[in-house]
Amino acid sequence: MSMELDTVVEALARVVEPYVGATMARSALKVHGQKLGLDGAPLTAAQVEALITRVGSGLNVFLGREKSEVVVGELKKAAAGLR
Amino acid sequence: MSAGQRDRLLDVVIAVGALPYLAQFLGAGGTVPPRLVTWTGALVKLAFLGLTAAWALRASRSFEAGDMARTAWRLLGAGFLGFFLGQLCLSVYQLFLGGTAPFPSVGDLFFVLAYPFLALALFAFARAYSDAGYAGASASTRRVIVVAAPALSALVAYVVLKPIVHAPASPLATALNIAYPVLDFVLLIPCALLVHTTLPLRGGAIGKAWMTLLAGLLVMCAADIAFAYFSALGQQSLDPLLNAMYVISYGLMARGVRRQHRLLTA
């Protein structure tokens, strides 16, 4: 099942904004999306998974591995809620 | 006790440590016994520095070996441990050996050694965040900060250091009076980089923790520089105000590191 990029970014941003703020959450997700070559076309589940992995590894430096894994779990839940 | 209540408790401790000094500065010192001012100030400073060191070292455990953030937290913890030991030496003189610490004293050894750890820690954080894609600025902007911060510091340092160099003091005291402001100015460079890096994160918990910690470092640098300058001019009337600034700066640093520690471990 495919999902719109903006919808995914919005859902994932809500999970990470308590940590990095609303502006940085959205801009970081968009940058990660661009680096993955996501160009606005509907995303596949694998692409959403890749986006979540990238966001999670970016948060590692602030939150440590254990806490980042918790956030990644929350991101996956948020993405699953869109399907 | 909730996280918010703990934050408020830290604020109360900051007030308990700083208000007696401010009362002294404003001429209302008669209402507070000087001994009580010294005791509360010394104990609050020690508590903040000790806790900050402990929280920073514990925060490092949340990162894996070889991770730059782990190194940065360890260096930060070591720096604050140095400050704690320096303050401990001063406190022994202030509380048990007659009231005033000699200058220089063994405490200065710990204070001076702490600075390289703090500066390296802040550079390591800036590097780690940049590597993770949170540089907060383009490479050229970062280069401007790295050039502009020392240039501006050198300008202020010239004004500050001039009376210090000419003030009558032993060679070691003069060297230390010059070293402290110089080390503070060096510390301002990674502080400026980190302000730029973490400012875009200010809406979130990470940004708030960093803003608080960096505000504490900036207040500490300002107090150090002012202390060296006014001591060289022989003006001791500002000492209570500067002591209040130290309490506030240590309190802010403790609050910032605790917030970050809570983020990592909650």
Q: How far apart are CA A29 and CA A16, in angstroms?
A: 10
Whether residue B203 and residue A24 make contact (CB cut-off 8 A), yes or no, is: yes
| pLDDT category of residue A43 using cuts at 50, 70 and 90 | confident
Q: Given a cut of 70, is residue B19 above it in pLDDT? A: yes
Whether residue B263 and residue A63 make contact (CB cut-off 8 A), yes or no, is: yes
Residues of chain A with C-beta less than 8 angstroms from the C-beta of B3: none
Q: Which residue type occupies B52?
A: T
Q: How far apart are CA B166 and CA B162, in angstroms?
A: 7
Summarize the confidence of residues A54-59 as an average pLDDT: 91
Q: Which two tokens stand for residue A54?
A: 């990238």
Distant-in-sequence, close-in-space partners of A63: CB < 8 Å, separation ≥ 6: A19, A71, B62, B206, B263, B264
Candidates B137, B260, B123; CA nearest to B196 is: B137
Q: Given a cut of 80, is residue A8 above it in pLDDT? A: yes
Q: How far apart are CA B181 and CA B224, in angstroms?
A: 6
Candidates A19, A24, A63; nearest CB to B200: A24
Most confident of A25-29, B161-165, B213-217: B213-217
Whether residue B201 and residue A24 make contact (CB cut-off 8 A), yes or no, is: yes
Candidates A20, A32, A67; nearest CB to B201: A20
Q: Given a cut of 70, is residue A1 above it in pLDDT? A: no
Cβ–Cβ under 8 Å, residues A83 and A65 = no
Return the residue of B nearest to A17 by Cα: B204
Helix, strand, or coil here: B204?
coil
| pLDDT category of residue B244 using cuts at 50, 70 and 90 | very high
Omega prior to B171 cis, within 30 of 0: no
Candidates A23, A28, A67; nearest CB to B203: A23
Q: In this predicted complex, what is the ipTM?
A: 0.89
Summarize the confidence of residues B89-105 as an average pLDDT: 87
Cβ–Cβ under 8 Å, residues B67 and B59 = no
Summarize the confidence of residues B203-222 as an average pLDDT: 95
pTM for the whole structure: 0.90
Element (H, E) at A70: helix A45-80
Cβ–Cβ under 8 Å, residues A15 and A74 = yes
Residues of chain B with C-beta less than 8 angstroms from the C-beta of A60: 67, 69, 132
Q: Given a cut of 80, is residue A53 above it in pLDDT? A: yes
Q: What percent of chain B is modeled with pLDDT above 90? A: 55
DSSP alpha helix (H) spans, chain B: 3-25, 34-60, 68-96, 106-131, 139-166, 171-198, 205-232, 239-265
Residues of chain A with C-beta less than 8 angstroms from the C-beta of B127: none
DSSP state of A43: B
Mean pLDDT rounded to a whole number for chain A: 90
pLDDT at residue B118, as a whole number: 97
Closest chain A C-alpha to B161 CA, distance in angstroms: 38
| pLDDT category of residue B137 using cuts at 50, 70 and 90 | low
| pLDDT category of residue B89 using cuts at 50, 70 and 90 | very high
More confident residue, B27 or B83: B83
List the single best residue of A26, A61, A65 to mutate versus B (max B Cβ within 10 A). Answer: A61
Q: What percent of chain A is modeled with pLDDT above 90? A: 55
Q: Given a cut of 70, is residue B22 above it in pLDDT? A: yes
Summarize the confidence of residues B138-143 as an average pLDDT: 74
Mean pLDDT rounded to a whole number for chain B: 90
Summarize the confidence of residues B72-76 as an average pLDDT: 98
Q: Given a cut of 90, is residue B100 above it in pLDDT? A: no
Return the residue of B nearest to A69 by Cα: B264
Whether residue A64 and residue B133 make contact (CB cut-off 8 A), yes or no, is: no
Cβ–Cβ under 8 Å, residues B205 and A18 = yes
Counting every residue, how long is chain A? 83
At B24-68, the pLDDT tens digits run: 888 865 677 888 899 999 999 999 999 999 999 999 999 999 899
Residues of chain A with C-beta less than 8 angstroms from the C-beta of B265: 67
At B223-232, the pLDDT tens digits run: 998 988 888 8
Residues of chain A with C-beta less than 8 angstroms from the C-beta of B204: 16-22, 24-25
pLDDT at residue B30, as a whole number: 66
Q: Quick check: B8 contacting A, CB < 8 Å?
A: no
Q: Which residue type occupies B1?
A: M
Q: Quick check: A66 contacting B, CB < 8 Å?
A: yes
Q: Given a cut of 60, is residue B127 above it in pLDDT? A: yes
| pLDDT category of residue B92 using cuts at 50, 70 and 90 | very high
Q: How far apart are CA A33 and CA A41, in angstroms?
A: 11
